[in-house]
A = this chain, B = another copy of it.
């Protein structure tokens, strides 16, 4: 935040929109003084961020007492090519959430959190899929973090070159980037056409 204070944005609507659009997040935690960063799936439900905890088995060792985490979600929007090497940058939107993660243990909250996570990834999918049974519910770990301590950082727009460099012949501009779906690939023995949430998938709201 110090180097580019203008990139800081803190209103909750901005933070929520980034968390909702970002497909995955990276969860940071400390184990025996060593930091770990694990990619996982998240979903926001009001003021709570749920994350799928199973990938980070190290994270779960002391989870009963809660664990300090940093959850960061980043959306890449483009490459910023400036005339000078120094002013090259990326357009992006990111959110950093600091907080103490608790394990979701209540059956109702856990089921609802799982629904949020599935719907976050593919809106409309929950109702179509076979619902979790009791064993699967127990076999799934969901962590919850409050969004109280969340902040966003955003860079947008063209490169910002030094005045002295504007006359250089170097091309400058932005290469926009988006996460794009391609045609769905059906599993073996599936003959029905893919549902519309698969054929017209988009992260854009």
Q: Which residues of chain A have a CB within 8 Å of any CB of chain B?
A: 1-3, 23-24, 26-30, 33-39, 41, 54-55, 57, 68-72, 74, 76, 79, 81-86, 88, 90, 92, 94, 96, 98, 114, 118, 121-122, 125-126, 128-132, 136, 139-140, 158-159, 161, 165-166, 168-190, 192-195, 198, 201
Contact = CB atoms under 8 A, between A and B. Distances in A.
6 contacts: A37-B37, A84-B129, A84-B132, A85-B130, A128-B171, A129-B170
Nearest to A192: B171
Contact of A26 (B74, B82, B136, B175): B74
The quantity of this chain's copies bound in the complex is 2
B72 A39 contact: yes
A34 B68 contact: yes
